[in-house]
Structure 1
Amino acid sequence: MKTKLTLVLAMVLTPAAFAEEMKGMDMKQSMPMDNMKMEQSDTEAQTAKATGTVRKIKQDKGSVTIAHGPVPELQWPAMVMGFKATVEQLEDLQEGDEIEFEFTSKGMNSTITSIKQL
Structure 2
Amino acid sequence: MKFIPTLALILAFSASGLATAQTAGMSDEPGAGSKATTHKTIAVVKGVDTANGKVKLAHEPVKSLNWPAMTMNFSVKDPALFDKLVVGKKVEVEFVQQGSTSVITAVR
* TM-score, normalising length: structure 2: 0.63
Larger radius of gyration: 2
Q: How far off its partner does 1:92 sit?
A: 3.4
Q: Aligned match of 1:76 in 67, 71, 85?
A: 67
- Partners of 2:84 and 2:107 within 8 A in 1: no
Q: How far off its partner does 1:50 sit?
A: 0.2
User: 1:60: which partner in 2?
Assistant: 51
Write 1 or 2 for the structure with the bigger share of helix. 2
Structure 2 unaligned residues grouped into runs of 5+: 1-33
- Partners of 1:68 and 1:80 within 8 A in 2: yes
Structure 1 unaligned residues grouped into runs of 5+: 1-42
Alpha-carbon separation, structure 2, partners of 1:45 and 1:79: 22
User: 1:96: which partner in 2?
Assistant: 88
| Deviations 1:47-66 (CA, angstroms, capped at 9, x unpaired) | 21000100000011111100
Aligned-pair RMSD on alpha carbons?
A: 1.5
Corresponding position: 1:110 with 2:93: no
Tell me the number of residue pairs that the alignment of Structure 1 and Structure 2 aligns: 74
Alpha-carbon separation, structure 2, partners of 1:48 and 1:97: 20
| Deviations 1:62-113 (CA, angstroms, capped at 9, x unpaired) | 1110000000000000000111112100123210000001100134210011
Identity %: 35
